[in-house]
C-alpha cells in the first residue's frame, strides 16, 4: 500500500508517494538523499536518527513518513544558520571535541538543540538527563556536555558566513 | 610555534557536524540492491531443510542463497583450519546469529520481507553456552575434529609449587571477566560492486588493506583490481578488524546478479553477529610476605572463543598472560592458558584486547593482598612497583620488555588530586551511619602493551606486516597531501598527522591534507588497532616529512645559491640563517621541484615525495594510575561513581584535546564493563541481551565527569616519544571501579565481586550482611 505524504524538510516542501510503512529515517536518507541522519539501533534507544519534528526532538526511526504529513522536519543538514555559519551547537561540538567517529553526532546535535530551545541554560545534570536517549560510544560524554554548555554560553555565535 | 602538543581543533569535524560525513550506508550507487540475512535462532542444531520457495517468488527478490550456493568455496578467512565458520551455515549451526541464508532484493524492505518467508527446519542439539558447560565431562562437542571443546591448552612451565609452599601468605581469586559486545554506534556495513573492471568493497573496517589482501586471495583475483574503501567509519573498537561472511557474500552476490549489493546490519544482528570481547575466566594465585611484598604469581586464563575460534581470539590469552604481572616486580610468575569453544558468538578484539583482563586481575590481587595484610592498597602498590631505574625491564614474557614508565610517579600525581586521607575518614564515618551511603575508594596502577608493533607481531594475527605506511607528497603549490595506511574511525588521525607533518615540513596546518582508507589511493597499509596509529603511523609521517624537508632545503639552497645546512624555514619561507630578507617561499620550492631545469645537480623531479614503511623496534607500554570513588545506596545496591581521577602516561602528547577524548572514551567503556555491560546467554545458548533495550550501553546520565592528569615518560622506540592512548582507559578503569566497590563493602568481609557490579549483586551482599 502506498500513500502520498508531504513533509517540509529543512524549509523545503517535499512530497512523495511512499509505502505506508516507510520510516521517516528512510524517507530522509533514501528518498531525499539526506544521509546525515543515521541509524544505530532498532529499538529507539540510540538516538542517532534524532531530528526536529515541529521543533521538538524526535527519533526518525520510529515514525512513519506518512504519519507526519504536513509537518516540519529539521535534519542536521538544516542545522546551520541562514548565512552558512555553523549553529552555536555545531560550533560547540567542534570547540569542545564533542565528537570522535561522528556517527551519533547529528542526532546528538539535534537533541541538544531541542534541549536549549526548552532550557537555554541547562546545568550539567540537566544536559546529561536530557541526552539519555542518545548513545555515544566514543566520547564518554563529558565533552558532549561541555559542547552543549558552550552553545548555551554562545547563543549568538556566528562565523560570519564562513562554513 | 610547534603544533605537536597543541590543542588543535579537528580537521574532521566540519563534515561530521553538518551531516556531510560519508559512511558506507550513505552510499547508494545506481542499481544498488540490499542484502538481508536469515540468522540462526538456535545455538546448536542440525539444519534439516531450508525452504526458500516463497521468498524467491516475492517480486523484487533477486537472489536467495543458502550454503548450497557456496558449497565450493572455502570457509570465512581468519578462522582456524577445520574450525572455521562457513560463509553460510552448512548442515549445522553453532551459535544464535550464525548466518543461514541471505536474500538480495531491490530494496531493504523487500529483502527483509523475503527473509521472513524463509523456513529453516532445525533439529536442536544440546548446547554449551558457558565455559563450565563446555568443559564438563560428557559435554556435547562443537567440532568433531577436536574430540572435545578445548582448542588449545598451554600448561605452566613451572607451577611454582615450592615458592607458594614457602611463602608466608597466599591468596587466590577466581575471576570472571565478563563478555562484552563492542557496539560501535554504526554496526557492520558493507557494499560490494563486482563488475568487469574488478571488485570494489566499501566496508566499515579498521584495516582496509588487510581486507583487500585477504579478499583478493580468497577469490583468487589480483590485488590491483580489488579495491577496499573504508570511508568514514562509525567507531570500531577492535570489532571492525575481523573478517566476517558479510564481506564475501556481498561480493559474490554482486558478481552473480551484476549489481551493487549492500548489507546494513541491524543492531539486534550486531549484538550477536559482530564478534564479542573479553569472555575470560581467571584462576589467579599470589604468594606474598606479611608486608605485602609479592613473591610469586600464578595465572591460568580460560578464554571463551565462542563457536568458531579465530586468530585474534586465540591471541587474547597470550596478551593477557604476557601482561599478568602489571607494573610490579614479581620474582616468579607462572602462566597458563586454554582456549575453549562454546555455542556463543565468536570472540576477538575489543578495545584493549587481552590487556584489560590482565590489568583487572593483577589490580584485584593487589587489593586482596592489602586486605589480607592490613597494608594500605596504595602502599602495597608502592612496595611492589618496578622502579624507574629498572628499564628496560624484562618480564616473565618474551613479548613484554617494558621500556619506560614511572609507576610511582603516576600514583604520586594521582594523589595530588585525590584527598585520600579525608576520603578514608569519611568512609569510616558513613559506615557508622545507617542512613548514609557507603563510600569506597579504588585504585588501579595499570600498564598495557600497545603500539603494535615490532616486526612479526601483527604477522602473528594474519597481517602482511607490522609497519605502517606514510607517504608525504608535496603539491606544486606547496601544500601537502599525506597518505596513511592507518585507517581511523574516530581517533582524529587526520588532525594528529597534520600536526606532526606541519612541524616537520614547515607547512601551514591548513595546507596539509591526510588521506586514508582507500586501497586504490594509499600505497599500502596495515590499519588502526592496538593503539598504533601515532606510535607507528605517526612516526612514519614524521620520518617521511623529514626526508621531504631535507630535499626541500636542498632545492631552496640551490635557488638561494647557499648551502643546504645553512637553510632554515619560518612562515613557509626558506632562507639562510641570519638573512631572512632573502628567502624563497615553500610554494616556489614546490613548484620548481617538478622542473628538471631548476633542480640541484643529482636531484630528479618528484624529490618532494617520500614513502616510508615505518618499523618500530618494540611495542609501547602506556601506563597510568586511576582512582575511582563510589557511593553505594544501601537500599537499592546501586553504585554511583562520585569521582574518577585519571593520570595517564602515554608518552609525548601530540594533541591534548584528542588524548583527553581517547582517555574519556576508553574509561567510559571500562566503567561500562565494570558496572553495566554483559552479553548474557541462557543455558540453552539463547542470548538474553540482543537489543539495546537489555544490553546496557551507558548514556550520559549513567557516567561521571572525569578529572585528568598526566605524566610523561617518552617512548624510546620512536622519535616522537608517543606510546598510544586509545585503549588505556578501558585497561585502567575496570579495576579502579571494582576496587572501589569492594572497598566500600570490605567491612562486610567482601573480597571480590565479578563484573558487571549490578545493583542486584550489591543488594544481595548488603541483605546477606543484615
Summarised one tens digit per residue, pLDDT across range A141-160 is 999 999 999 999 999 999 87
- Give how far the C-alpha of residue B593 lies from the chain's centroid of Cα atoms, to the nearest Å: 41
Residue of chain B whose Cα is closest to the Cα of A78: B18
Could you tell me the three cell numbers for A25?
A: 529515517
Least CB–CB distance from A42: residue in B183, B267, B492: B267
Q: Among B7, B11, B15, B19, pick the best mutation site for testing chain A contact (most A Cβ within 10 A).
A: B19
Q: Which of B315, B326, B322 is nearest to B350 (CA)?
A: B315
B16 and A143 in contact by Cβ < 8 A? no
Q: H helices of B453-596, where?
A: 493-505, 539-560, 586-592
B692 and A142 in contact by Cβ < 8 A? no
B235 and A21 in contact by Cβ < 8 A? no
Give the model's pLDDT for residue A140: 98
B166 and B294 in a single domain? The answer is yes
B19 and A75 in contact by Cβ < 8 A? yes
| Order of all β-strands in the sheet with B573-576 | B567-570, B573-576, B583-585
Q: Are B485 and B496 in contact (CB under 8 A)?
A: no
B94 and B149 in a single domain? The answer is no
* Alpha-carbon gap, residue B102 to B106, rounded angstroms: 14
Residues 6 or more apart in contact with residue A131 via CB below 8 angstroms: A47, A108, A111, A112, A115, A141, A144, A148, B699, B700, B701
Residue ranges making up the domain that contains B576: 459-614
Cβ of A1 under 8 Å from any chain B Cβ?
Answer: no
B545 and B565 in a single domain? The answer is yes
Chain B hits for A139, CB-CB cut-off 8 Å, are: 661, 664-665, 668
Distances (CA, A) of A52 to A57, A58, A73, B142, B161: 5, 6, 6, 50, 66
DSSP string, B723-764: ---TTHHHHHHHHHHHHHHHHHTGGGT----PSS--HHHHHH
A36 and B697 in contact by Cβ < 8 A? no
Last residue of a domain, one of B614, B635, B664: B614
Structural domains for chain A: 2-77 (3.10.20.30), 88-153 (1.10.150.120)
Give the model's pLDDT for residue B121: 98
Residues 6 or more apart in contact with residue A40 via CB below 8 angstroms: A46, A47, A48, A49, A103, A104, A107, A135, B185, B186, B187, B234, B267
Residue B385 belongs to some domain of the structure = no
Least CB–CB distance from B706: residue in A40, A132, A140: A140
B676 and B562 in a single domain? The answer is no
B29 and B148 in a single domain? The answer is no
Whether the ipTM is more than 0.95: the answer is yes
User: What integer is the mean pLDDT of A101-127?
Assistant: 98
Cβ of A56 under 8 Å from any chain B Cβ?
Answer: no
CATH number at residue B231: 3.90.1170.50
Cβ of A9 under 8 Å from any chain B Cβ?
Answer: no
DSSP H or E segment with residue B286: strand B280-288
Chain B hits for A93, CB-CB cut-off 8 Å, are: 13, 17
Cβ of A99 under 8 Å from any chain B Cβ?
Answer: yes
Least CB–CB distance from A43: residue in B109, B664, B692: B692
CATH number at residue B324: 3.30.365.10
Q: Among A1, A80, A140, pick the best mutation site for testing chain B contact (most B Cβ within 10 A).
A: A140
* Alpha-carbon gap, residue B497 to B517, rounded angstroms: 15
B590 and B738 in a single domain? The answer is no
DSSP string, B183-233: --SS--EEEEEEETTEEEEEE--S-HHHHHHHHHHHHT--GGGEEEE--B-
Residue B727 belongs to some domain of the structure = yes
Closest-CA distance of chain B to residue A45, Å: 6
Last residue of a domain, one of B266, B283, B313: B266
Kindly indicate the confidence band of residue A73, based on its pLDDT and cuts at 50, 70 and 90: very high
Cβ of A105 under 8 Å from any chain B Cβ?
Answer: yes
Give the model's pLDDT for residue B461: 87
Residue B363 belongs to some domain of the structure = no
B118 and B153 in a single domain? The answer is no
Could you tell me the three cell numbers for B461?
A: 594475527
B17 and A102 in contact by Cβ < 8 A? yes
Least CB–CB distance from A138: residue in B9, B14, B665: B665
Give the model's pLDDT for residue B1: 72
B348 and B484 in a single domain? The answer is no
B486 and B497 in a single domain? The answer is yes
Q: Which residues of chain B have pLDDT under 50?
A: none
Give the model's pLDDT for residue A162: 61
Total domain count, chain B? 4
3-state secondary structure B401-414: EECCCCHHHHHHHH
> Is the confidence at residue A163, as pLDDT, over 60?
no
DSSP string, B6-61: --PPPSSHHHHTTT---BGGG---TT-EEEEEEE-S-SSEEEEEEE-HHHHHSTTE
* Alpha-carbon gap, residue B436 to B431, rounded angstroms: 7
Q: Are B376 and B370 in contact (CB under 8 A)?
A: yes
A35 and B25 in contact by Cβ < 8 A? yes
B580 and B660 in a single domain? The answer is no
A145 and B657 in contact by Cβ < 8 A? no
B725 and B609 in a single domain? The answer is no
B505 and B560 in a single domain? The answer is yes
Kindly indicate the confidence band of residue A1, based on its pLDDT and cuts at 50, 70 and 90: confident
Whole-number average pLDDT of chain B: 98
Give the model's pLDDT for residue A161: 67
| Coil vs helix vs strand at B471 | strand
Q: Are B441 and B629 in contact (CB under 8 A)?
A: yes
Amino acid at each position: 500500500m502506498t500513500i502520498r505524504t508531504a513533509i517540509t524538510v529543512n524549509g523545503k516542501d517535499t512530497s512523495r508517494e511512499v509505502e505506508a510503512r516507510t520510516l521517516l529515517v528512510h524517507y530522509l536518507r533514501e528518498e531525499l538523499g539526506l544521509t546525515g541522519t543515521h541509524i544505530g539501533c532498532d529499538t529507539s534507544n540510540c538516538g542517532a536518527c534524532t531530528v526536529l519534528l515541529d521543533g521538538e526532538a524526535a527519533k526518525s526511526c520510529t515514525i512513519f513518513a506518512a504519519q507526519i504529513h504536513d509537518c516540519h522536519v529539521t535534519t542536521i543538514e538544516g542545522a546551520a544558520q541562514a548565512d552558512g555559519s555553523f549553529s552555536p551547537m555545531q560550533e560547540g561540538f567542534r570547540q569542545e571535541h564533542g565528537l570522535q567517529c561522528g556517527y551519533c553526532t547529528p542526532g546528538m546535535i539535534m537533541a541538544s538543540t531541542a534541549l536549549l530551545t526548552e532550557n537555554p541554560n541547562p546545568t550539567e545534570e540537566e544536559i546529561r538527563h536530557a541526552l539519555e536517549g542518545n548513545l555515544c560510544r566514543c566520547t564518554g560524554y563529558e565533552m558532549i556536555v561541555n559542547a552543549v554548555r558552550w552553545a548555551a554560553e554562545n547563543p549568538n555565535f556566528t562565523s560570519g558566513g564562513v562554513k | 610555534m610547534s603544533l605537536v602538543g597543541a590543542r588543535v581543533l579537528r580537521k574532521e569535524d566540519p563534515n561530521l557536524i553538518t551531516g556531510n560525513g560519508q559512511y558506507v550506508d550513505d552510499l547508494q550507487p545506481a542499481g544498488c540492491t540490499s542484502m538481508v540475512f536469515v540468522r540462526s535462532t538456535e545455538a546448536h542444531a542440525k539444519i534439516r531443510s531450508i525452504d526458500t520457495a516463497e521468498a524467491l517468488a516475492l517480486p523484487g527478490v533477486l537472489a536467495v542463497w543458502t550454503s548450497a550456493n557456496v558449497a565450493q568455496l572455502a570457509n570465512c578467512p581468519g578462522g582456524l583450519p577445520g574450525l572455521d565458520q562457513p560463509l553460510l551455515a552448512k548442515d549445522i549451526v553453532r551459535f544464535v546469529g550464525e548466518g543461514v541464508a541471505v536474500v538480495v532484493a531491490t530494496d531493504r524492505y523487500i529483502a527483509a520481507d523475503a527473509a521472513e518467508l524463509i523456513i529453516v527446519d532445525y533439529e536442536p542439539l544440546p548446547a554449551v553456552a558457558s565455559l563450565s558447560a563446555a568443559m564438563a565431562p560428557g559435554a556435547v562437542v562443537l567440532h568433531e575434529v577436536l574430540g572435545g571443546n578445548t582448542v588449545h591448552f598451554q600448561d605452566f612451565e613451572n607451577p611454582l609449587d615450592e615458592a607458594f609452599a614457602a611463602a608466608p601468605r597466599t591468596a587466590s581469586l577466581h575471576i570472571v571477566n565478563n563478555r562484552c559486545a563492542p557496539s560501535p554506534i554504526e554496526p557492520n556495513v558493507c557494499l560490494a560492486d563486482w563488475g568487469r573492471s574488478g571488485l570494489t568493497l566499501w566496508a566499515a573496517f579498521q584495516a582496509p588493506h588487510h581486507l583487500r589482501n585477504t579478499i583478493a586471495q580468497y577469490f583468487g583475483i589480483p590485488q590491483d583490481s580489488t579495491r577496499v574503501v573504508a570511508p568514514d567509519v562509525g567507531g570500531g573498537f577492535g570489532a571492525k578488524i575481523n573478517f566476517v561472511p558479510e564481506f564475501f557474500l556481498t561480493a559474490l552476490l554482486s558478481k552473480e546478479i551484476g549489481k551493487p549489493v549492500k548489507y546494513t546490519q541491524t543492531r539486534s544482528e550486531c549484538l550477536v553477529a559482530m564478534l564479542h570481547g573479553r569472555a575470560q575466566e581467571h584462576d589467579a594465585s599470589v604468594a606474598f610476605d606479611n608486608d605485602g611484598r609479592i613473591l610469586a604469581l600464578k595465572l591460568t586464563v580460560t578464554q571463551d572463543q565462542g563457536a568458531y575460534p579465530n586468530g585474534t581470539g586465540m591471541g587474547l590469552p597470550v596478551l593477557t598472560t604476557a601482561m599478568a604481572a602489571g607494573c610490579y616486580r614479581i620474582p616468579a610468575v607462572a602462566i597458563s592458558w586454554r582456549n575453549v569453544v562454546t555455542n556463543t558468538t565468536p570472540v576477538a578484539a575489543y578495545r584493549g584486547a587481552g590487556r584489560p583482563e590482565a590489568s583487572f586481575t593483577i589490580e584485584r590481587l593487589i587489593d586482596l593482598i592489602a586486605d589480607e595484610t592490613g597494608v594500605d592498597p596504595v602502599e602495597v602498590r608502592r612496595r611492589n612497583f618496578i622502579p624507574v631505574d629498572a628499564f628496560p625491564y624484562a618480564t616473565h614474557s618474551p613479548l613484554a620488555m617494558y621500556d619506560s614508565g614511572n609507576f610511582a610517579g603516576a600514583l604520586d600525581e594521582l594523589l595530588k588530586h585525590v584527598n585520600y586521607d579525608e576520603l578514608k575518614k569519611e568512609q569510616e564515618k558513613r559506615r557508622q551511619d545507617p542512613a548514609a551511603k557507603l563510600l569506597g575508594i579504588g585504585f588501579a596502577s595499570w600498564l598495557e602493551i600497545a603500539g603494535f608493533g615490532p616486526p612479526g607481531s601483527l604477522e602473528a594475527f594474519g597481517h602482511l606486516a607490522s609497519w605502517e605506511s606514510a607517504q608525504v607528497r608535496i603539491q606544486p603549490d606547496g601544500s601537502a597531501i599525506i597518505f596513511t595506511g592507518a585507517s581511523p574511525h574516530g581517533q582524529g588521525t587526520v588532525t594528529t598527522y597534520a600536526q606532526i607533518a606541519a612541524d616537520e615540513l614547515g607547512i601551514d596546518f591548513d595546507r596539509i591534507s591526510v588521506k586514508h582508507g582507500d586501497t586504490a589511493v594509499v600505497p599500502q597499509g596495515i590499519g588502526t588497532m592496538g593503539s598504533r596509529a601515532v606510535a607507528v603511523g605517526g612516526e612514519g609521517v614524521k620520518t617521511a616529512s623529514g626526508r621531504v624537508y631535507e630535499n626541500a632545503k636542498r632545492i631552496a639552497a640551490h635557488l638561494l645559491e647557499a648551502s643546504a645546512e645553512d637553510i632554515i624555514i619560518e612562515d613557509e619561507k626558506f632562507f639562510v640563517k641570519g638573512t631572512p630578507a632573502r628567502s624563497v617561499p615553500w610554494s616556489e620550492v614546490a613548484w620548481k621541484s617538478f622542473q628538471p631545469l631548476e633542480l640541484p645537480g643529482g636531484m630528479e623531479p618528484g624529490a618532494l615525495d617520500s614513502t616510508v614503511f615505518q618499523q618500530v623496534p618494540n611495542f609501547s607500554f602506556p601506563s597510568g594510575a586511576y582512582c575511582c570513588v563510589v557511593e553505594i545506596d544501601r537500599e537499592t545496591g546501586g553504585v554511583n561513581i562520585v569521582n574518577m581521577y585519571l593520570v595517564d602516561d602515554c608518552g609525548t602528547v601530540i594533541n591534548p584535546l584528542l588524548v583527553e577524548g581517547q582517555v574519556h572514551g576508553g574509561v567510559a567503556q571500562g566503567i561500562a564493563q565494570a558496572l553495566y555491560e554483559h552479553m548474557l546467554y541462557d543455558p540453552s545458548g539463547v542470548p538474553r541481551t540482543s537489543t539495546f533495550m537489555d544490553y546496557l550501553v551507558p548514556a550520559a546520565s549513567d557516567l561521571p565527569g572525569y578529572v585528568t592528569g598526566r605524566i610523561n615518560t617518552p617512548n624510546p622506540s620512536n622519535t616522537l616519544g608517543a606510546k598510544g592512548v586509545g585503549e588505556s582507559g578501558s585497561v585502567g578503569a575496570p579495576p579502579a571501579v571494582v576496587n572501589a566497590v569492594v572497598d566500600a563493602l570490605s567491612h562486610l568481609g567482601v573480597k571480590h565481586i565479578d563484573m558487571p557490579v549490578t545493583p542486584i549483586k550489591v543488594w544481595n551482599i548488603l541483605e546477606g550482611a543484615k
